Structure 1
Amino acid sequence: MNIPNDPVILLSYINTQLRDFYPNLTDLCLSLNINEESLCAKLETIDYSYDQTTNQFV
């Protein structure tokens, strides 16, 4: 699966996917074949981290 490379666009894409289709980040990553650690690291470059309580990057 091709996901956006730009971190800001990636943030929007991932949060939308989490909101609409996935109960948690692990399920999203497994389904889309994305490395969870790499995804988190990329979004941390723009100061966002995953919040399990809200199921989104904040």
Structure 2
Amino acid sequence: MNIPNDPMMLVSYLNTQLRDFYPSLEELCKSLDLDQQQICDKLKTVDYSYDAATNRFI
């Protein structure tokens, strides 16, 4: 899966996917064959972290 490389574009893309199609980050990563830890680490560099209660990066 080709996802945005820029962290800010990535957070926007992932939040849209989570809102519209996936009940959790785990499900999104499984479906798109992405490394969940790698995604979280990348977004942590721009102060975003996954919030399971709201199912989005904040």
TM range (shorter): over 0.9
Partners of 2:45 and 2:18 in 1: how far apart? Answer: 20
Shift of 1:20: 0.2
Aligned to 2:26: 26
List alignment gaps of at least 5 residues for structure 1. none
Q: Which residue of 1 aligns with 2:11?
A: 11
Q: Which letter does structure 2 place at the counterpart of 1:39?
A: I
RMSD over aligned Cα, in angstroms? 0.3
Which 4+ runs in 1 deviate beyond 3 A?
none
* Aligned AA (2:10): L
Number of matched pairs = 58
Letter paired with 2:55? N
| Deviation (angstroms), 1:22 | 0.1
TM score, norm. by length of structure 2: 0.99
Identity of aligned residues (%): 62
Q: Which residue of 1 aligns with 2:44?
A: 44
